[in-house]
Structure 1
C-alpha cells in the first residue's frame, strides 16, 4: 500500500489559489528590496479593517494605480490624482487610505535619504537584521502585534506615517519576512 503524502499549510490561506500561491511563495520570505517594501507598505495600509485576500485580489490594480509602486512617482501625486483614484473601482476607494499612500511615499523617501534605504531603517529594528522565526502549533497562535511592532509603528507614526498602526505593522513584518509565523511543519516554513 502506497503511503499518501499530506501537504501541511498554515490554515489562514485556505484553498483559494491566489492565497495559497501567496502563502507558499511570498509570505515570510525576507524582503530587503525597497520597491517591494514600499509595495507592502501601500497594500498593508489599504488592508486596514479588511481581509488580506480582498487586497491581494486587487494587487495588480494597485500596481497600475500606484505607478508600479514607484515611491518617487507616488510621492508626486496631486489632489487631481487622488480624485482620479477615487473613481478607480479596481482599488479600495477610501480617500484617507489613498492620501495615506501618497503621504507615506513622501516619508518613505525621507527615510531612504536618512538611512540610505528603507530596508536599512526597517530591518535595523531587528537584531543583526535577521528574521525572527517563531514556533507556532497553529496559525491562531500568531500574535496580532508585538512589542517590536509597537516600537516600529510608534517610530513611523512619529515621522507622520498614516494607516500603519501596530497591527498593520506586524502584518507588514510577516509579509516581508521580518517574522516567520508559519506553523511548525508547514511546507513553506
Structure 2
C-alpha cells in the first residue's frame, strides 16, 4: 500500500481545509474553487484525495510556529511603518505602553496571533483598512477593551489579528488609521 492510499484523520482534513482557506484569502483560489475543493477535503478518505487539492498551492513555511517576543518593563514598545510582522507575536510589558501599527507593515500571512501580557500597560493596535480583530480571548481585569468599527470576524483578503492575553489595569484599543484632513 502506498502513502497516498493510507486513510486520513479528521485533523488531516482540517489542516487541508485551513490551507485552502488561506489560499482563498491570499487570492490564489476564487470562491467556486474554494467551495469545490473544501467539499472534497472534508470528505477525503485517503492522502491521495487530499494531495490533488493542494498540489498547486505553496507549501507552508517551516517557521510558522516561531514566536517573536517584544519585551519592556517601563519603556515604550512601538512598531510602525514598513516592518516585518511575524506570524506569532508575544508582547510582554510591565508598565510600558505598546503601539503596533499594522497599516503599512509587510505581512506575508493572512492571520497574526498576538499575545499581550500588559500588567499595568496599555496597547493600541492599528489595523490596515478592512482588517479585522478578534479580542474575545483577551482579559482585562480593571481596564477596558475597545474595537469601535473594527469587525471581529475574518474578511476574505484582509488581515485578521487574533488577540489573546491579559491586562490588569491598562486598556486595549484596536482601530483603523486616523484619517487626515488636508486644507489648502
The TM-score normalised by the length of structure 1 is: 0.24
Q: Answer 1 or 2: higher relative contact order, Cα 8 Å, separation at least 6.
A: 1
Structure having the larger proportion of residues in helix: 1
TM-score (norm 2): 0.24
Structure number with larger C-alpha Rg: 2
